[in-house]
Structure 1
Amino acid sequence: MHAQQEVLGGRYELRGVLGRGGMAEVRDAWDRQLGRPVAVKLLYPGASTQPDTRRRFATEARAAAVVNHPHVVAVHDTGVHEGRHYIVLERLPGQSLADVLARSGPLPADHVRAILRDVLSALQAAHSSGVLHRDIKPANILFTPFGGVKIADFGVAKSADTPQTLTNRVFGTMAYLPADRIAGRPATASDDLYALGVVGYEALTARRAYPQENLAALADAINAGRLPPLSALRPDVDPALVTTIERAMARDPRWRFATAQQMRASLDPPVARPQRTGVVLSAAAVVLAVVLVAALVLAL
């Protein structure tokens, strides 16, 4: 006999597990009403009883819904089923950037540039809406069927309606946080850009920028900020992309990008101006012809 299918809200038919985190699991599901695949993020029973966790979960849904951008995983619905809170999300069939790097190794420079451009487009929209993601990392960058990417998991995002009790805590994955943020500085848009710089470094090298497992050692390594230069690890990568990534990751916050738009503008190599030799020669020929005509007139 088949086990009875669990259905949330009389609509979302739960299937396999796509992933598990500290407070929730993500399930593959089917939307019976619209006849389409979806992903459902479902709080664990114990987490659903914790007020702070419920507030964070509600903030995640609202933050992602407010951004509403082609490079952000869409939120379709939210609800509560038998005491468990859930968010219904766009279902992407592709893998995460973390999966691709683990399987394929370093990515070509143009591919990394395209990924950064997509994420920066999403971050620009998020920051313009007053939303900080605060957990940009390869596992939260998902590929679409068409090769583009979308950012997922606004679980620790900060927005205008983030409860004050959660505003000044240091959220996120430490390996993608700058040293001054780890030290307790309030979150800013620049922190998302720093994290994206780390992502870019890892996408080009297929190695963790800061691989330390011990948190104290990891914090010390980030504070020191000593990394093998990208130009040494990937001499084939153009200077514009290398400089953009290394500036985003700068230890001194004054050197980092302030806005996603600023970082996007620096991604591409400068366009070489077309040679104007032909125009110059044409102009010279005209001048020469005028001189010759004048000389002939005077000779007459």
Structure 2
Amino acid sequence: MNALAGRYQLIDLIGTGGMGSVWRAWDLRKRTYVAAKVLGQHDAGTLLRFVREQSLRIQHPHVVAPHGWAAEDDKVVFAMDLVRGGSVATLLGDHGPLPTAYVAVLLDQLLHGLSAIHTAGVVHRDLKPANLLLEVTGTATPHLRISDFGIAGLVDEPRMTRHSTILGTPGYFPPEQLHGADPDPRQDLYTVGAVATELLTGSRPAPGTPITPPPGPLAGLIQHLTAEDPAARPATTFEAARLLAESGALPAANTTPWSDAPEPPEVFNQLPPLPAPWTAAGPPRQDGRDREPGAAPRSTAPSSPVPRPPSNRRLLAWLAAASFLGALALAGAATWLLLR
């Protein structure tokens, strides 16, 4: 079992996306399972987005952001916490529309995580059920975690291009994002309203059409969040959380009213069993015998020292090239403005 960059042993593929594949992996340094996003040969712009994603080390119980990275040859890997309950999209597919109280709890956690993201000066720009992961909680109170910062933007950072590339997922982003607006936290709040509508109805919002809140205690909040004019939306996540609290949809603390439903929402472990010879304690022992599940972490140490990760000079070269291309683009834009 060769470890990527001398640190991450890829075990099995658990997801794919437009900007890389996600693997269950064993972190030799931390001696734990992690989710490893692997990037292959892509253009410099994509690489820079991944480096930015890796830099978003926002520590919050409702956010899962990369906490380590390594590079080897033509691959870059970013390590994140391994979240086992699938996504909110998975839950919707299994259950259909969710109870109002359950949705209110998810929205409350989403707004708390989003508050930490916005406080860090970041706009996510791609909130949707597939990017909202869930810890395994059964029918108890859910635990949501925001993931996938691949197209996140920084507040007050203007876009270099407009109208040519639309960032985000149709049906979820606000009208101004369609027209290339600069990153603004209120764009994420619009998306929270779109997601809330889908959680309550089970139907994905139709691209290019106004959001129609379903009747119920969350209708007023959704209407504010999805206002076409950004100035009419809540200015911050704190204001949105206040409106949520005032809606009366949140259940009392430590209660789960949906548990009394005939088929309450249930978050299962969505990961397949570990392939042989992997165990709950990590990789097989060097003497060829598997460990017993639950063995002490000290017993997972390999018999030989873990090699140091190889030099990341190739990654640095790619970044240098990307910086050079960015400088050329800026110079070209400045020249164009002077010659107008």
Instruction: Name 2:38's counterpart in structure 1.
Output: 42
1:112 and 1:8 mapped to 2: Cα distance? Answer: 40
5+ long unaligned stretches in structure 1: 211-217, 232-236, 272-300
Q: Which residue is 1:234 aligned to?
A: none
Task: State how far apart, in whole Å, the 2-side matches of 1:117 and 1:258 are.
Answer: 16
- SS of 1:135's partner is coil
Contact between 1:59 and 1:162, CA under 8 Å: does it hold in 2?
A: no
Q: CA deviation at 1:116?
A: 0.8
Contact 2:106-2:144 at 8 Å conserved across structures: yes
* Cα distance in 1, alignment partners of residues 19 and 131 from structure 2: 16
* Alignment TM-score, normalising by the size of structure 2: 0.67
CA–CA distance in 2 between the matches of 1:107 and 1:124?
24
Deviation digits for residues 164-194 of structure 1, max 9, x if unmatched? 6479954111221111220222221000011
Aligned to 1:62: 55
2:91 to 57, 78, 100: 100
Q: Deviations over 1:254-279 (max 9, x none)?
A: 321111111000002467xxxxxxxx
Q: Determine which of 139, 153, 159 is the counterpart of 1:158.
A: 153
Q: Which has the higher helix share?
A: 1
The alignment partner of 2:222 has SS state of helix
Quote the RMSD (CA, aligned, Å): 2.2
Identity %: 34
Deviation at 1:226, TM superposition (A): 5.9
- Which of 131, 144, 148 in structure 1 is aligned with 2:143? 148
2:254 is the counterpart of 1:249: no
Q: Evaluate the alpha carbon distance shift between residue 43 and residue 90 of structure 1 in structure 2; reply closer, same or farther with a 3 A threshold.
A: same
Deviates more, 1:148-157 or 1:137-146: 137-146
**1:208 lines up with 2:192 in the alignment:** no
Deviations, residues 221-265 of structure 1 (Å, cap 9, x unaligned): 33xx163x401xxxxx32xx2211121112232321111111000
Pairing 1:68-217 to 2, within 5 Å after superposition: 68-146=59-137, 147-159=142-154, 165=160, 170-210=166-206
CA distance in 1, matches of 2:158, 2:202: 37
**Alignment check: 8 A CA contact 2:53 2:66 kept:** no
User: More relative contact order in 1 or in 2 (CA 8 Å, sep 6+)?
Assistant: 2
Q: Which residue of 2 aligns with 1:13?
A: 9
8 Å CA contact retained: 2:22, 2:35: yes
SS in 2 for 1:186: coil
Q: What SS does the aligned partner of 1:57 have?
A: helix
Structure 1: distance between partners of 2:22 and 2:181: 31
Give 1:21 deviation, angstroms.
1.0
Q: In 2 relative to 1, CA 269–162 (structure 1 residues): closer, same or farther, beyond 3 Å?
A: closer
- Structure 1 SS opposite 2:76: strand
Q: Relative to structure 1, is the Cα distance of residues 92 and 82 closer, same or farther in structure 2, using a 3 angstrom cutoff?
A: same
> How far apart are the structure 1 equivalents of 2:29 and 2:244?
43
Q: 4+ residue stretches of structure 1 with deviation over 6 A?
A: 160-163
1:251, 1:269 → 2: CA distance? Answer: 22
Change (3 A) 1:163 1:252: closer
* 2:135 counterpart letter in structure 1: T
Structure 1 stretch displaced more, 165-174 or 191-200: 165-174
User: How big is each residue's C-alpha offset from its partner over 1:268-291, in whole Å with a ceiling of 9 and x where there is no partner?
Assistant: 2467xxxxxxxxxxxxxxxxxxxx
Equivalences, count? 243
Larger radius of gyration: 1
Unmatched segments (≥5 aa) in structure 2: 249-340
User: How far apart, CA to CA, are the structure 1 residues paired with 2:146 and 2:242?
Assistant: 20
